[in-house]
Chain A
Amino acid sequence: MDFDLMINSFPKLLSATVITLKLLSASLFFGLFVGLLFAILRINKNIFINKFAYGYSYVFRGTPLLVQIFIIYFGLGQIEYLRTTFLWVILKEPYWCAIIAFTLNTGAYTSEILRSAFQTIKPGIIEAGKSLGISNRIIFYKIQIPIAIRQSLPAYGNEIILMMKGTSLASTVTLLDLTGVAKYIISTTFKPIEVFIVAGGIYLFMTFLIHNFIKYLEKKYSFQ
């Protein structure tokens, strides 16, 4: 065990964690909107809208995140026409490719989490709102959505942790996130065990923080 290497690589890995956190927060932010949108489409009565939303979540939950990121980064880069459009400004950058892939992936899971939360809302609550003469719109935004978000907190907490670990795949498209820098250090020191232990420790600590934050939210917004 090379403890000096572990100590020396720690600050480098810590500054790479900033990239990991940026990727995570950006994809969770966009993913929440995508997820909410598709959850609403999923509970729509129109069969085409419903099936479309289902198809999206089916495809993105049914394929590995690594494949998705490769298709978006290497796959789309091969289409010559695309390279002449304004889209290339975004797709040229590995950073944005990673965020797009992560957003679409977490969006699919989030839509399922929120859909099931919507469906578990007791009809009595909505009926109570209606009997008070509250409009459907207000019921949806002020009653259904807040309840759904509270209901989905435990599952969504898991999704955040999964996504945090998923960001390590950004290193496969040249980004120097936590895993990317760990691999970089290993490529010059040839000591994977020491470096990955430190990197793993940082991931574990982030999981610890996320887990406790979600637990705090759950307590704060509990119905009791």
Chain B
Amino acid sequence: MEVIMNIFKKTILTVFTSLLLIGNANADKIKIGTEGAYPPWNSKDASGNLIGFEVELAKELCTIMKHECTIVEQDWDGMIPALLMRKFDAIMAGMSITDERLKTINFSQGYADEVASLAVMKGSGLESLDTPEGINLSIGGGDVKKALKTLTGALAGKTVCVQTATIHQNFLESGDVGKIDVRTYKTQDEVNLDLAAGRCDAALAAAVAFTDYAEKSGKPVVLVGPTFSGGAFGNGVGVGIRKGGTDTIGKRDAKLLKDFNRAINTARKKGIISKLAIKHFGFDASM
């Protein structure tokens, strides 16, 4: 009987100590949430491992911060709610810094920026849009107004597809390009599929998301119209972090924001961000 009790005690002790150890390990471990479905920012390889610009950048930043990090996957439409529910501590998912999102969460300084563009299938009537190369909505001016007017005319009554809860959806619904039929999808993959199937007259997303799809699928997807930046398109992509507070986790979040800002500075100076950007985007998208 005593033998059994001893084994019993030992088991309980082991379980408790291991639980404590896990608890401790978690305290210093940062979890970073990403979507894994928005190449080249973040995606998954054939065996389901997370890959892409942000996955590699996250590892670099964690090395600089001397934090142990794990990168976890989260559907895009639940990204911010999951951060708020403390499922992870930071978002690196191609998420642009916008005023709308800043109401709910904090952002580190931007680490990369990249323009948005409309895409259509080759042969579409929208292919011959006469607009400037790129427009910055923050700067405004005659050119921007003219381009928006051209777009309003061309897109009237058309179906434009976007991923849900993105800057692209916000822009299309802002009224800047008039009233259009905006269709929202859970992932960019689904937007691409429906664009190729002809259910969408046009789609709006990061320009690289389309060029990447065109390259990998061989589908005749072409970019049209101006590239967009500024305004509803935000100010670059940053690390999303919960707003700090006075409790333990709040203080930890506030410190994490500082850590990330410092690490981004270091990585930028060392040329790490540029190098990774060129590797994944084909051009230097760092900022």
Contacts and interface: CB of A to CB of B under 8 A. Distances in A.
Given A174-B184, A184-B164, A187-B164, A192 B81 contact: yes
Interface residues of B, number: 22
Contacts of A207: none
A130 interface: no
Contacts of A172: 186
Contacts of A78: 193, 196-197
Which of A74, A78, A174, A188 has the most C-beta atoms of chain B within 10 angstroms of its own C-beta? A174
Interface in B164-181: 164-165, 169
Contact of A188 (B165, B185, B196): B165
Given A172-B186, A184-B184, A192-B78, A77 B165 contact: no
B91 to A, nearest CB: 12
B186 A92 contact: no
B80 interface: yes
A74 B193 CA distance: 7
Contacts of B199: 77, 92, 94
B81 A183 contact: no
B132 interface: no
Nearest to A78: B197
Nearest to A74: B193
A83 interface: yes
B198 interface: yes
A191 interface: yes
B28 interface: no
Contact of A77 (B77, B100, B161, B193): B193
A188 B100 contact: yes
A183 B164 CA distance: 9
Interface string A160-188: 00000000000010100000000110111
Contacts of A186: 77, 81
A33 interface: no
Interface residues of A, number: 16
A187 B197 contact: no
A172 B68 CA distance: 36
A183 B184 CA distance: 11
Contact of A174 (B77, B81, B183, B197): B183
Contacts of A191: 81
B84 interface: yes
B104 A74 contact: no
B60 interface: no
A29 interface: no
A96 to B, nearest CB: 12
A190 interface: yes
Interface in B221-239: none
Contacts of B198: 77, 83, 92
Contacts of B100: 188
A190 B81 contact: yes
B190 A74 contact: yes
Nearest to B78: A192
A191 B78 CA distance: 10
B194 interface: yes
A183 B196 CA distance: 25
B193 A174 contact: no
B134 to A, nearest CB: 27
Given A78-B193, A187-B165, A174 B185 contact: yes
Contact of A190 (B80, B164, B190, B193): B80
B245 to A, nearest CB: 17
Given A183-B77, A183-B164, 6 more contacts: A77-B198, A78-B197, A174-B161, A174-B194, A187-B165, A192-B78
Interface of A: 74, 77-78, 83, 92, 94, 172, 174, 183-184, 186-188, 190-192
Shortest Cβ-Cβ A-B pairs, 9 listed: A187-B165, A77-B197, A190-B80, A174-B183, A192-B81, A190-B104, A190-B81, A187-B164, A74-B193
